[in-house]
Amino acid sequence: MMNEEPVMYIKGLTKYYGDVVGIEDLDLKVYPGEIMGFLGPNGAGKTTTIRVCLDLLQKTRGEVKIFGLDSHKYSLEIRRRTGYLPGDFGMYSDLKVKTILKYLLSQSGVSDDNKMKKLAHVLELDIDRKYGNLSKGNRQKVGLVQAFMADQDLIILDEPTSGLDPLMQQKFYAFLREEKSKGKTIFMSSHILAEVEEICDRVAIIREGKLQVVEDIHSLKEKMGKKLVIDFEDGIQQDIFDMDGVEDVQIDGRTATMIVTSNLDEVIKKVSRQNIINMSLETFSLDQLFLTYYSRGGNG
């Protein structure tokens, strides 16, 4: 996948709002057939990045190419090939959902509404109801349907599961995996870390307008370490944890908890010389990775 030309190529992308930094010097590549998660807290610059890439906001400097095309010069052609869910999606309240979706589908030059109906069924969306009578979650479903229904090559989603209940989120994740299996490229922003861990191939973390890290999720977990919890039968000798690869040792009675970043085999061999009642090893969740990463101040 990485040997192919990227679907999205971002180099030195910067957007200032007067003296305020929206995003600054972003470098990012999104490759065909991958689901890329774009993580960060609210206000980190996720929406600004997406809008600049789609030429909905004017960049201050930098380069964006989508499908190998300059995102400003060829913005109309790019949008024809891109499904997009904005973070503030909204439609006319007095129109039926079916009317809205069919109109939007016609604007994409597509007459086949089978995919629209399929996703509406998956998400349990009643398209015969008026948009204004829908709950927040159902309005979000309308946005999701319109983003995918034209069967475009690239799908860009800004906080796609906002307002969806957990069961509906799982159904949507299954649909995303199906789209990925068909070769679709999906770029999705989120502050829900568990969903990115579950469905994305790679993750880009942004903070205060600057990209902190871009990595595949499995490699990121490995770099951040594993949580090792040991229950000892006897008292704990503090010095047995003085070895490379062991950090953040916490002792509570006869239980020791630590983060192991390397040399796991040697660590286990050394502590196993003591009388152990129980031992558990946990891979960090992306939530823990995110918090740990920021607590360390980024690349440190």
Distance of alpha carbon 178 from the chain centroid:
17
- Residue 101 is predicted with a pLDDT of 95
Report field, pTM of the whole predicted structure over 0.95: no
Quickly name the fold that domain 226-283 has.
Alpha-Beta Plaits (3.30.70)
pLDDT at position 264: 87
Q: What is the pLDDT of residue 295?
A: 60
- pLDDT above 60 (res 179): yes
Fold of 8-216: Rossmann fold (3.40.50)
Return the structure tokens found at 170. Answer: 């799982």
Q: What confidence score (pLDDT) does residue 70 get?
A: 97
Average pLDDT across the chain, whole number: 90
Locate the domains of the chain by residue range: 8-216, 226-283
Dump the DSSP string for 156-221.
EEESTTTT--HHHHHHHHHHHHHHHHTT-EEEEEES-HHHHHHH-SEEEEEETTEEEEEEEHHHHH
The pLDDT score that the predictor gives to residue 292 is 66
Judge if 8-216 and 226-283 fold alike in CATH terms. no
Identify the band that residue 238 occupies on the pLDDT scale cut at 50, 70 and 90.
confident
Q: Which residues contact 260 (CB under 8 A, 6 or more apart)?
A: 225, 226, 227, 228, 245, 246, 247, 267, 281
Assess whether pLDDT exceeds 90 at residue 244. no
The mean-pLDDT minimum among 108-122, 165-179, 212-226 falls in 212-226
pLDDT the model gives residue 96: 96
Task: Please give the average per-residue pLDDT across 26-41, as a whole number.
Answer: 95
Q: Which of 21-30, 158-167, 188-197, 277-286 is the most confident on average?
A: 21-30
pLDDT value at residue 226: 83
pLDDT at 263: 84
pLDDT tens by residue, 67-125: 999 999 999 999 999 999 999 898 989 999 999 999 999 988 888 999 999 999 999 99
pLDDT at residue 196 above 90? no
Asked whether residue 13 carries a pLDDT value surpassing 60, the answer given is yes
Q: What is the pLDDT of residue 298?
A: 47
pLDDT tens-digit series, residues 249-276: 999 999 999 988 888 888 888 888 888 9
pLDDT of 225: 77
Q: Which two tokens stand for residue 235?
A: 């008292």
pLDDT at 300: 37
Contacts of residue 33, Cβ cutoff 8 Å, sequence gap at least 6 = 1, 180, 183, 184, 185
pLDDT at 18 (0 to 100): 95
